[in-house]
Amino acid sequence: MLQQIGVDSGIVRRVAIAAYEAEMNCVIHAGGGRITLDAGADSVEIVAEDNGPGIPDIEQAMVPGFSTASDEIREMGFGAGMGLPNMKSCSDILEIKSEPGVGTRVRMVFYNR
């Protein structure tokens, strides 16, 4: 869809990686969630929201390799602690709002330059 509206292939790749990471975080840590994408000529925005346990320490969660994934998730090859760092490195803007016991909202913006 993004390629059809003229988004640069490099941006499409970054969006795909970040969306995958957001999806996996919603599934692994919250048991599900909702991801929306808003695409325009100048930018793409992804918002991932869940009603999971929340992130008690966002700064710590941004450290590459830090993970709260269960052993079961790790045995399946996930939970390496690179989800949020990868989202940050792929997006031009990353905003994280989280409240323990309430859920998490991650907003990413990608500029189509």
Kindly give the pairing relationship between strand 34-39 and strand 93-99.
unpaired
DSSP letters for 43-63: EEEEEEEE-SS--S-HHHHTS
For range 37-62, the mean pLDDT = 95
pLDDT at 31 over 80: yes
Residue ranges of the alpha helices (H) in the chain? 9-30, 58-61, 71-75, 83-90
At residue 41, the pLDDT reads 80
Q: Which amino acid is at 17?
A: I
Q: Which domains does the chain have, with CATH numbers?
A: 9-111 (3.30.565.10)
Give the tens place of pLDDT for each residue, 74-111. Answer: 999 999 999 999 999 999 999 999 999 999 999 999 99
Number of residues written out for the chain: 113
Q: What is the mean pLDDT of the chain?
A: 95
pTM exceeding the 0.75 threshold for the entire prediction? yes
pLDDT at 113 over 80: no
Cβ pair 9, 38 in contact under 8 A: no
At residue 71, the pLDDT reads 92
Query: Structure tokens of 22?
Result: 């957001």
Q: Which amino acid is at 71?
A: D
Write the CA distances from 13 to 8, 106, 107, integer angstroms: 9, 19, 17
pLDDT at 67 over 90: yes
